[in-house]
Amino acid sequence: MNIARFSIEKPLITWLIILGAFLGGLWGFATLGRLEDPAFTIKTVVISTQYPGATAEQVAVEVSEPLESAIQKMGEVDKITSINQPGNSLITVDVYSTFGGDELPPIWTKLRNRVSDAARALPEGTSVPYVNDSFGDVFGIYYAVQADGFSDAEKHELATFLRRELLTVDGVADVEVKGLPEEAIFIEPVMAQAVNQNLAPMSIISALANADSVVDAGVVRANGARTIIQAPDGSGSVDAIASLTIGSEGEVINLFDIATVQRDRISAPEMLVRFNGADAFTLGVAGLSTENIVDVGRRAEARLAELKDNIPYGVTLSPIYQQHVVVDEASSAFIVNLSMSVAIVVLVLAIAMGWRAAIVVGATLLLTVVGTLFFMAIFSIEMERISLGALIIAMGMLVDNAIVVAEGMQISMRRGKDSYTAADDAAAKTQIPLLGATVIGIMAFAGIGLSPDATGEFLFSLFAVIGISLLLSWILALTVTPLLGHYFFKQGSGETDDAYDGWMFRIYGKALEWSLRMRWLVVVALLAVTVVCFAGFGMVKQSFFPNSNTPMFFVHYKLPQGTDIHATSDDMRKMEDWLAAREEVASVATFVGQGASRFMLTYDAVKPNPSYGHLIIQTERLDQIPALQADLNAFGRATFPEGEFRTTRLVFGPGGGAPIQLRISGADPAVLRQLSTQMIGVMQSASDNLLDLRTDWHEQELVLKPIYATERAKTAGVSRDDIADTFRLATEGIISGVYREGDRQIPIITRLPRDSELGLLDQVVFSDSTGEVLPIAQMIDGLEYEVQNTLVHRRNRVSTLTVEADIPQDVTAPQVQAEVQAAVEAVELPLGYSMDWGGDYESSREAQAALGAQLPVSALIMVLISVLLFNAIRQPLIIWLLVPMSVNGVVIGLLGTDMPFTFTALLGLLSLSGMLIKNGIVLVEEIDLVRAEGLPLKEAIITASTSRLRPVMLAAVTTILGMAPLLSDAFFVSMAITIMGGLAFATILTLIAAPVFYYLLFAREEARAIAA
């Protein structure tokens, strides 16, 4: 049955298809979920364990190693890394990317069981390991909350109120609050008075431990009733704590007689946050993965607007990042680009084929796009960066089907045939070749979308949307296009001139005739151009992920290891002041001690470190970033020579790490540091394009260590723990209890007064055995300094030090990698040590390996389809000979515009291959059909190719011009240039190279037939 004729004979069914696609598309656009990036499961869990008093290396050996050993036994685990600092172990576990999101909960349960079992063997004093499997939550609606003039307690109450109210918003999964002031109740005993009373500090600590405790006091059961007994109320205020009494040698002493009690901020908070230079805390809202983030964001904003009267005056909420706004703007930009593309197609067709054909093809194209949105809504495929990109990629292939059918039908009707016969003829010759070409175009992306790993999960929408849109375009080209042609195309008298007798066709016919005559010269020229372009591809910049089009960039600042958080904060304030004077800066969010919450899927926050500072800078416009970034770099490097100052752009893809990374693994930390110094020297000698060479272990720190006088101390009954507690009391203080205030638990810390003039060796220690207070100087043989590693990284249970470097903005990571790789790999490592590359090199190789593992299968299927389509070998060979040559136009386009070959350019190259194959299939099939009518080979080639000139040219021109709106889009610009340059050259290949190759492969057969 001919589908085209049926669509005209049964117009009701076709109109139902039209209305279904159009109205369904409108419904789909209104109800489709909207995200910034595809819903993607971060298959990572973080395990945090405290081991107070231990060195970083002790933590690595005694805590991380047992836990990592237990975790490594799980077959699902791909990689284990850990960061070990004094008293703290932070283990990151990545499972294999082939596991789906629905498979993770039982894996995390299994991991928790392994960790729980291993934790039993951890040293005494180690905390219970905390397993965080919400590491990948994205808090895309991200606010800075400022409450100048409010007390710290009021800020906590405000944060609790806002979090509670936002959690009630429909579609909100979680609300994270960070950067609140950290308070404590400080008990500062006057040691002279305590010593006079012979009162041990531990007695004070013991009394405070139970000051506000909650314990079970039992139950009374009598006369068939049960009555609960509650413990007496604890000390519920700071004044009540100060009024506590302590027993000592039969006497009762009031705490306020020997100590001051005050509520204050702790001296070394984990994190400080400012927004535009003023103190703030952050409020991050994460939406459910099943919800439209645009709707969630609007509902959250509406809820905050409703709460305006309940929020105290003076409190401001300023957006740091609004994912729902970004997504909404991206959707609006897509509609604009789509409208412009369709308008360009209609305009070009109107000029080339007349306004009737323009309406027919333009309407089919529009129905294809909106129909795709309908099926996206049915299959729950959200509108996000990848799916919108897929629609744009498919645009070049969508228009081709309708043009082929419309052009064939229009020519037949000009020759006097009625619309039924014209539709029958046009579709009969092309419907199977177009279907085969469409399936081949889909299969070009199947390897990516159906990959079982993380690549397939992230890019599945690319394959799905392209598959839906291309199949729908084939269906609509054979149904809607004939019906609209029946309504709009006019039937000729049959006496008109040849449809292919225009000047353009005559020029092309002469050029093709010359090419067939000089066929070997044409082949040599094509081969020469191809060889040159493949060589030129090495000159094309490589950048796997392009810069984001969000007007935002980051500052990373690292002072020497061991720097106090307030010293880091002071430097960050100088940067804020400099930025405040710049008109192009819209806002500056400052984070000291660690990075921000994960407000984007691709944002990777730096782990806690007091010597680290971070700025998130937003500008008014995207084009202001390069100049501002260059000026800020110059200012930062000149003003803060003692620190590592670097700026980075926001990219579409994983970020946060240095572009150049070299990992060195082995057992001895001293050898690792020696090797890192050697490698830094080698890298600096090999390339001048390395900036800020550093290691992730950073500097070693001086550690003050008392020398325990074993005999004297044991005789006096003073243990090592007693000495450690004494020094802790004299410095940071000892947590003595908890003060409950609503849902907060504020630590009670006992410490010596901050204004005390006593040095460490002036302290006294209480002996439990003798009941006396003794000078600590008699219990130790002095203090010694020791240089230690306070930041030890491990990778798969092996100590691993990473050398990192940044690069100038005008070069790419692959360029610099090529400059240093050979020299570094030539260095001979000691036995038992190894090295491997990370950074952009590793990310790119992993992504390309994932693609490369699937593409051969897709290519094999594509070749098989083309062979089955022609039931021959030579015709598919002609088509596939063209594919490598399509790179020529890509290289010319990228080099001519100085654009890098990015991930989106790779997708554009796959799309280009699909367009080229489709054009080749239809052309070769047309030549076969004309030859079957009895024309000689050369005449058949010229006749058939001339008839395909207009569809091929129109498809190329409409696609090239349709990509023009994307040239201003940072994400899609390299893809647009790839398709525009590649398709321009591919058109020449289709119209010249394919006929020449056909003649070469079939000329001998023609000669034999004539001779016979």
Residue 834 to residue 679: CA distance in whole angstroms? 13
CA of 554: how far to CAs of 564, 571, 625, in Å?
A: 22, 16, 11
Q: Packing angle between helix 874-882 and helix 994-1011, nearest 10 degrees?
A: 160
Determine the Cα–Cα distance for residues 302 and 321; give it in Å rounded to an integer.
17
Across the range 393-417, mean pLDDT stands at 81
- CA–CA distance, 212 with 240 (Å, rounded to integer): 10
Using the structure block, give the residue that is written with the tokens 């470190």. 609
Nearest-angstrom CA–CA distance, 580 and 31: 42
User: Which whole number is the average pLDDT over 848-866?
Assistant: 79
Q: Is the pLDDT of residue 721 over 80?
A: yes
How high is the pLDDT of residue 495?
A: 58
Whether pLDDT at 537 is above 90: no
Residue 213 has pLDDT above 60, yes or no: no
Examine the pLDDT at 2 and tell me if it is beyond 60.
Answer: yes
What pLDDT does 976 receive?
85
Whole-number percent of the chain with pLDDT over 90 = 36
Least confident of 21-25, 221-225, 338-342, 646-650: 221-225
Mean pLDDT of 159-177: 93
Q: Rounded distance, CA 549 to CA 100, Å?
A: 30
| Residue 352 pLDDT > 70 | yes
Position 547 confidence tier, pLDDT thresholds 50, 70, 90: confident
What pLDDT score was predicted for residue 833? Answer: 95
Rounded distance, CA 368 to CA 25, Å? 9
Give pLDDT, residue 399. 80
H-type alpha helices, 145-292: 152-167, 191-196, 201-209, 238-242, 255-258
Q: Please report the DSSP string for 281-349 in residue order.
A: EEEEEEE-TTS-HHHHHHHHHHHHHHGGGTSPTTEEEEEEEEHHHHHHHHHHHHHHHHHHHHHHHHHHH
Tokens 């409010």 belong to which residue? 150
Of all residues in the chain, what percent are helix, strand and coil, respectively (each to 5)?
Answer: 55, 20, 25
Q: pLDDT tens digits, residue range 738-765?
A: 888 878 888 989 888 887 777 888 888 8
Over residues 471-510, the pLDDT tens digits come to: 999 999 999 999 998 888 887 766 555 566 677 888 888 8
User: Token pair 């691993």 is at which residue?
Assistant: 800
> Which has more confidence, 262 or 907?
262
More confident call, 924 vs 335: 924
| Cα–Cα distance list, 390 to 165, 318, 447, 467 (Å) | 38, 34, 15, 9
Rounded to 10 deg, the angle between the 565-580 and 625-639 helix axes is 140
CA distance linking residue 98 with residue 119, whole number of Å: 29
Give per-residue burial for 726-752: e unless 16+ CB within 10 Å, then b: bbbbbeebbbbbbbebeeeebbbbbbb
Question: Is the alpha carbon torsion for 336, 338, 344, 346 positive or negative?
Answer: negative
Reduce the DSSP state of residue 588 to 3 states and report it. Answer: strand
Name the most confidently modeled range: 188-197, 331-340, 627-636, 980-989: 627-636
Q: How far apart are CA 736 and CA 729, in angstroms?
A: 11
- Within 10 Å of residue 917's Cβ, how many Cβ atoms? 27
Helix (H), strand (E), coil (C) string for 681-700 = HHHHHHCCCCEEEEECCCCC
Q: Of 803 and 289, which is predicted with more confidence?
A: 803
Amino acid residing at 578: W
Say how many Å lie between the first and final Cα of the chain, rounded: 38
Burial status of residue 951 (CB atoms within 10 A of its CB: 0-12, 13-18, 19 or more): buried
Instruction: State mean pLDDT over 399-419.
Output: 83
| pLDDT attached to residue 496 | 53
Least confident of 441-455, 583-597, 794-808, 881-895: 441-455
Per the structure block, which two tokens stand in for 480?
Answer: 């809607």
DSSP string, 609-634: -TTEEEEEEEESSGGGHHHHHHHHHH
- When pLDDT is averaged across residues 153-167 and rounded to a whole number, the result is 93
Three-class DSSP category at 132: strand
Instruction: Decide if pLDDT at 216 tops 70.
Output: no
**pLDDT on residue 196:** 75
SS3 773: strand
In degrees rounded to 5, what are phi and psi of residue 879? -65, -45
Cβ-Cβ contacts under 8 Å for 914 (sequence gap 6 or more): 397, 437, 440, 441, 442, 444
Query: Residue 237's closest CA among 974, 739, 872?
Result: 739
Is the pLDDT at 1 greater than 70? The verdict is no
Between CA 453 and CA 95 the distance in angstroms is 11
Q: Please determine, for residue 446, whether its predicted confidence score (pLDDT) is greater than 60.
A: yes
Q: What is the pLDDT of residue 111?
A: 94
Q: Is the pLDDT reported for residue 970 higher than 60?
A: yes
> To which H or E segment does residue 750 belong?
strand 744-750
Asked whether the predicted pLDDT for residue 232 surpasses 80, the reply is no
pLDDT value for 636: 94
Going along the chain from its start, the domains and CATH numbers come out as: 1-31+354-490 (1.20.1640.10), 183-217+228-265+701-788 (3.30.2090.10), 503-539+872-1011 (1.20.1640.10), 549-650 (3.30.70.1430)
CA distance 889 to 895: 10
Question: How far is Cα 831 from Cα 665, in angstroms, rounded to an integer?
Answer: 11
Mean pLDDT value across the chain:
86
Instruction: With a cut of 90, say whether residue 554 has pLDDT above it.
Output: yes
Spatial separation of the C-alpha atoms in residues 918 and 465, rounded to whole Å: 18
Q: Is the pLDDT of residue 247 over 70?
A: no
Percent of the chain surpassing pLDDT 70: 95
pLDDT of residue 212: 58
The whole-number average pLDDT for the span 408-421 is 83
> Could you tell me the CA-to-CA distances from 490 to 331, 352, 413, 497, 921 in Å, in that order?
39, 16, 7, 15, 29
435-439, 541-545, 769-773, 949-953: least confident range: 541-545
Residues pairing with 47 in the sheet: 91, 131
Specify the pLDDT at position 236.
54
Tell me the mean pLDDT in the region 640-662.
82
Diameter of the chain measured on Cα atoms: 129
User: What pLDDT does residue 793 have?
Assistant: 95
Tokens of 143: 């606010």
Pick the closest to residue 364 from 441, 440, 465, 478 (CA basis): 478
pLDDT at 820: 94
pLDDT, one tens digit per residue, over 280-295 is 999 999 988 778 888 8
Average pLDDT over residues 315-335: 86
Q: What is the mean pLDDT of residues 13-20?
A: 92
pLDDT at 88 (0 to 100) = 94
Q: Looking at the predicted structure, is the pLDDT value of residue 300 above 80?
A: yes
Tokens matching residue 681: 């020297």
Listed in sequence order, the residues at least 6 apart from 70 whose beta carbon sits closer than 8 Å to its beta carbon are 114, 115, 117, 118
* pLDDT of the residue at 233: 58
Name the least confident of 102-111, 780-789, 908-917: 908-917
pLDDT digits (tens, 9 = 90+) for 32-57: 877 777 777 788 899 999 999 899 99
Strand partners of residue 605: none
Neighbours of 881 (CB within 10 A): 18
Place of tokens 């092996």: 798
The pLDDT of residue 656 is: 55
Nearest alpha-carbon partner for 748 in 766, 761, 762, 736:
736
Residue 87 carries which side chain, given as an amino acid letter?
Answer: G
Closest CA to 87 of 519, 659, 581, 732: 732
Region of 718 please: left (phi>0), alpha (psi -120 to 50) or beta: beta
d(CA 971, CA 385): 9
